[in-house]
Amino acid sequence: MPDPTVTVRMFGALHTLRKERGLSTVADVVIPVEGLTATDLAELLDLPLDLIEGVFCNRTVYPMRHHIAPGDRVAFVPKGTPGPHRFFLGLYAAGKEEGEG
pLDDT digits (tens, 9 = 90+) for 1-52: 667 899 999 988 899 999 999 999 999 999 999 999 999 999 999 999 999 9
pLDDT bracket for residue 59 (50, 70, 90) = confident
Determine the pLDDT at residue 32.
Answer: 94
| Cα distances (Å, whole numbers) of residue 29 to 1, 6, 26, 97 | 16, 5, 10, 27
Query: Is residue 90 scored above 80 in pLDDT?
Result: no
Determine the pLDDT at residue 2.
Answer: 66
| Alpha helix ranges (H) inside the chain | 12-20, 38-44, 83-89, 91-99
Nearest to 35 by CA among 10, 71, 75, 76: 71
- Going from N- to C-terminal start, the domains of the chain cover 5-99
Contact 39, 8 (CB under 8 A): no
What superfamily does domain 5-99 belong to in CATH? Beta-grasp domain (3.10.20.30)
Global pTM value: 0.79
